[in-house]
Amino acid sequence: MRWNAGVLAGLLIGLAWVVAGTLLAVLGRRRRLTSTVDGAGGVGIIGIFLVVVGALTLFATLLLAVVPGND
């Protein structure tokens, strides 16, 4: 497994996406539960999307870290 600057940057970016997405999903859920307005909590959908993007980023980064390459 290679732990170079690119792998560490990819892990950091993926982790940032997951954390931001989780925060937005929780915020959207709370807003939806406390509001009676239609469409309240739409930010939760964006949060779920960011969690998925972050998870895919982490997966791709770890996959590239373990695949043998030209170092």
Where along the chain do its domains lie?
Answer: 18-66
Write down the pTM of the prediction: 0.81
Give Cβ neighbours of residue 66 (< 8 Å, ≥ 6 apart).
1
pLDDT surpassing 90 at residue 34: no
Tens of pLDDT along 44-55? 899 999 999 999
Rounded to an integer, what distance in angstroms lies between the CA atom of residue 22 and that of residue 46?
Answer: 10
Tens of pLDDT along 2-31? 788 888 999 999 999 999 999 999 998 888
Q: Residue 57's pLDDT is what?
A: 96
In the 8-state DSSP scheme, what is residue 36? -
Select from 60, 64, 70 the least CA-distant residue to 1.
64
Q: Residue 70's pLDDT is what?
A: 66
Measured between alpha carbons, how far is residue 49 from residues 4, 29, 70 in Å? 28, 14, 34
